[in-house]
């Protein structure tokens, strides 16, 4: 066997790949209001039973491992506990029956997400179920956080090396790690449930005529964010005209797309422009936050147009951008706190990802459908079709050859242990290949010189071998699309509609703690 072929076969057995099962239909999870066990607290997210405890997990497109907030972080007083629970997207009570704790070295994940030094984290596994579906993961990797000051709360991790997505594929609940996301809306008066599709996307929601393609980690943002875009302009259109938030029209600013928060986060320079154009009140003795205004300022808030460097453009309507002042009330509900004020989904400074980098959150995705193919290292945006009366057209997407998993290598805060996990097999391959080459050299040196005829025959054989086209030289060169046209299940659709009617306008924030920061998700 030639040395190259031997090494290639060895790499196939040792190199990590993501399994795929193209015969499995995509998994659909609804983004909706979840009422917790006390019957009062409501949160919007993916309904999840973790160790038998009901959570409404928000979505993170940057983190790789699901995390939940330790219930011990929340005060024991009932009212304060409900408020903490609602603002956190649910909390988790640890017991031997619900959670199996393991040392980090025995935690079976591809990437361990970075975290602040002063955070206490328990690594382990819990049984996860998703009401409304048959999907179940017996041992989902979970981080249980304990940090009363942490901005990142409970979330379902959908990042490039998501252990959640991997387990779904391994257990044949989804064909691939592809994602299709219609986020829906948290608008005060026009709230809509969303839909997360794993292993495909909803063609009825995806306006293919507006589609734009982007590479993962493509624009050098200073945070560990896979879904990066380059802002070319952000324009406020209000009662006084059109106004750019860029002081320099030739500037370009990298930004991150992530549903870990709902509001936009702008740089300080962009926010200062916004505040001046909307006549935000900073110092008059009142307690206006960076997002709240007197009601008479509403005509100045208008709409927002997001222009990307590749020409993709999205308009955020007024009803998505502005509401009455909302936050987490004493019962843990996300509700109107002051009807005499208005609130904009714009904030500045440190967002939920921790840096002063523009973030395009749930409000942005209310108008844009997102598709992600981690194996191909690409994602797509297209105008979202928001008509709720349309039946779903779920299409499964499956690549013919799995590829190496995408990691956070080279990204600030990425896991350095991964280099050891990948480097050891590579070193092993090199050593084995070297020994094989040495053995082959010594073996051939002992052989008698071939006759002229034999030499010609051997040369002819080598030419034929080298002339053959390589087999599967590019694992991603062939793509197989399997389509599964499925309408939304009546029971699931009815449940989602009833939940939206019952809880519209009073959903729990799950994005920021109102006692610390009152921002519009």
Give residue 220's pLDDT band: very low, low, confident or very high (50, 70, 90).
confident
For residue 486, count other CB atoms closer than 10 A to its CB.
17
Q: Does residue 460 have a pLDDT over 80? A: no
Residue 46 scores a pLDDT above 60:
yes
Look up residue 95 and give its DSSP letter: -
Q: Which residues contact residue 64 at a Cβ distance below 8 angstroms, ignoring those fewer than 6 apart?
A: 109, 110, 111, 113, 157, 159, 160, 161, 162, 163, 408
Indicate whether 103 pLDDT > 80. Answer: yes
What SS3 state is found at 155? Answer: strand
- Give me the residue label for tokens 């602040």: 116
| Two structure tokens written together for 138 | 């017996």
pLDDT at 458: 42
Q: H helices within 53-110, ranges in order?
A: 78-88
DSSP states along 317-333: -HHHHEEEEEEE-TTS-
Stretch 64-89: mean pLDDT: 81
**Is pLDDT of 351 > 90?**
no
Residue 72 has what DSSP assignment?
G
Average pLDDT over residues 264-271: 93
272 pLDDT above the threshold of 60: yes
Residue 13's SS3 state is helix
- pLDDT over 50 (residue 130): yes
Max mean pLDDT among 7-21, 135-149, 301-315, 387-401 falls in: 301-315
- How much of the chain exceeds pLDDT 90, in percent? 49
Residue 64 pLDDT more than 80?
Answer: yes
Per-residue exposure over 50-88, b if at least 16 CB sit within 10 Å of its own CB, e if not: bbebbbbbbbbbbbbbbbbbbbebbeeeeeebbbbbbbb
Check residues 400 and 67 and name the one with the higher pLDDT. 67
Task: Give the pairing of strands 346-348 and 264-266.
Answer: parallel
Mean pLDDT of 235-240: 97
Residue 378: pLDDT over 90: yes
| pLDDT of 407 higher than 60 | no
What pLDDT is recorded for position 420?
Answer: 37
Nearest-angstrom CA–CA distance, 222 and 234 = 20
The SS3 of residue 446 is coil
Q: Which of the pair, 400 or 41, is modelled with greater confidence?
A: 41
In which band, very low, low, confident or very high, does the pLDDT at 509 lie, cut at 50, 70 and 90?
very low
Q: How much is the average pLDDT of 16-34? A: 83
User: Domain ranges in the chain?
Assistant: 26-170, 183-409+477-503
Q: What SS3 string covers 205-266?
A: CECHHHCEEEECCCCCCCCCCCCEEEEEEEEEEECCEEEECCCCCCCCEEEEECCCCCCEEE
pLDDT digits (tens, 9 = 90+) for 148-193: 666 557 899 999 999 999 999 999 999 999 999 999 998 988 999 9
Task: Name the most confidently modeled range: 92-101, 244-253, 361-370.
Answer: 361-370
Same fold for the pair 26-170 and 183-409+477-503: yes
What value does the CA radius of gyration of the chain take, rounded to a whole number of Å?
26
The per-residue pLDDT of the chain, averaged, comes to 77
The residue that leads in pLDDT, 177 or 468, is 177
Which range (109-118, 130-139, 255-264, 459-468) has the least confidence? 459-468
CATH topology of domain 183-409+477-503: Cathepsin D, subunit A; domain 1 (2.40.70)
Q: How far, in Å, CA of 93 to CA of 99, rounded?
A: 9
pLDDT band at 80 (very low <50, low <70, confident <90, very high): confident
Options 1.20.1070, 2.40.10, 2.60.40, 2.40.70; CATH for 26-170 is 2.40.70
Residue 473: pLDDT band with limits 50, 70, 90 = very low
Chain-centroid distance of CA 140 in Å reads 17
pLDDT band at 465 (very low <50, low <70, confident <90, very high): very low
Q: pLDDT grade, residue 277 (50/70/90)? A: very high
Measured in degrees and rounded to the nearest 5, phi and psi for residue 194 equal -110, 180
For residue 117, what pLDDT is reported? Answer: 78
Are 130 and 46 in contact by the 8 Å Cβ rule? The answer is yes
Q: Which residue has the higher pLDDT, 309 or 289?
A: 309
């Amino acid at each position: 066997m030639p040395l190259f072929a031997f090494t290639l076969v060895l790499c196939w057995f040792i190199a990590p790949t993501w399994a795929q099962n193209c015969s499995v239909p995509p998994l659909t999870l609804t983004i909706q209001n979840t009422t917790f066990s006390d019957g009062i607290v409501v949160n919007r997210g993916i309904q999840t039973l973790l160790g038998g405890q009901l959570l409404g997990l928000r979505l993170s497109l940057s983190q790789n491992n699901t995390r939940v907030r330790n219930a011990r972080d929340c005060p024991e007083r009932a009212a304060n506990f409900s408020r903490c629970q609602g603002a956190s997207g649910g909390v988790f009570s640890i017991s031997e029956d619900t959670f199996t704790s393991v040392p980090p070295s025995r935690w079976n994940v591809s990437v361990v997400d970075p975290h602040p030094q002063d955070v206490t984290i328990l690594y382990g596994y819990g049984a996860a179920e998703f009401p409304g579906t048959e999907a179940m993961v017996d041992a989902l990797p979970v981080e249980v956080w304990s940090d009363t000051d942490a901005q990142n709360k409970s979330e379902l991790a959908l990042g490039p090396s998501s252990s959640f997505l991997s387990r779904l594929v391994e257990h044949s609940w989804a064909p691939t790690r592809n994602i299709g996301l219609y986020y829906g809306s948290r608008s005060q008066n026009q709230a809509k449930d969303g839909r997360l599709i794993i292993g495909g996307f909803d063609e009825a929601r995806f306006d293919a005529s507006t589609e734009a393609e982007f590479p993962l980690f493509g624009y050098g943002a200073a945070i560990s964010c896979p879904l990066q875009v380059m802002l070319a302009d952000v324009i406020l259109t209000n009662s006084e005209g059109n106004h750019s938030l860029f002081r320099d029209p030739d500037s370009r600013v990298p930004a991150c797309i992530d549903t870990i928060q709902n509001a936009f986060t702008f740089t300080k320079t962009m926010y200062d422009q916004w505040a001046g154009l909307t006549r935000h009140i900073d110092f008059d003795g009142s307690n206006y936050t960076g997002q709240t205004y007197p009601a008479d300022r509403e005509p100045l808030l208008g709409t927002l147009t997001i222009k990307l460097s590749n020409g993709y453009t999205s308009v955020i309507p007024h009803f998505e951008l502005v509401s009455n002042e909302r936050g987490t009330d004493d019962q843990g509900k996300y509700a109107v706190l002051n009807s005499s004020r208005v609130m904009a989904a714009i904030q500045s400074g440190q967002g939920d990802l921790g840096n002063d980098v523009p973030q395009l959150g749930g409000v942005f995705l209310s108008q844009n459908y997102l598709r992600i193919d981690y194996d191909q290292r690409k994602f797509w945006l297209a105008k979202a079709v928001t008509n709720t009366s349309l039946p779903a057209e779920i299409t499964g997407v499956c690549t013919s050859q799995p590829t190496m998993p995408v990691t956070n290598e080279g990204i600030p805060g990425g896991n350095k242990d991964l280099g050891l996990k990948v480097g050891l097999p590579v070193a092993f391959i090199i050593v084995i290949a070297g020994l094989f080459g040495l053995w082959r050299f010594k073996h051939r040196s002992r052989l008698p010189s071939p006759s002229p005829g034999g030499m010609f025959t051997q040369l002819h054989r080598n030419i034929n071998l080298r002339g053959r086209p390589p087999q599967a030289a590019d694992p991603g060169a062939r793509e197989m699309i399997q389509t599964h046209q499925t309408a939304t299940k009546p029971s699931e659709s009815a449940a989602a509609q009833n939940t939206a009617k019952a809880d519209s306008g009073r959903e729990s924030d799950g994005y920021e703690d109102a006692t610390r920061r009152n921002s519009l998700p």
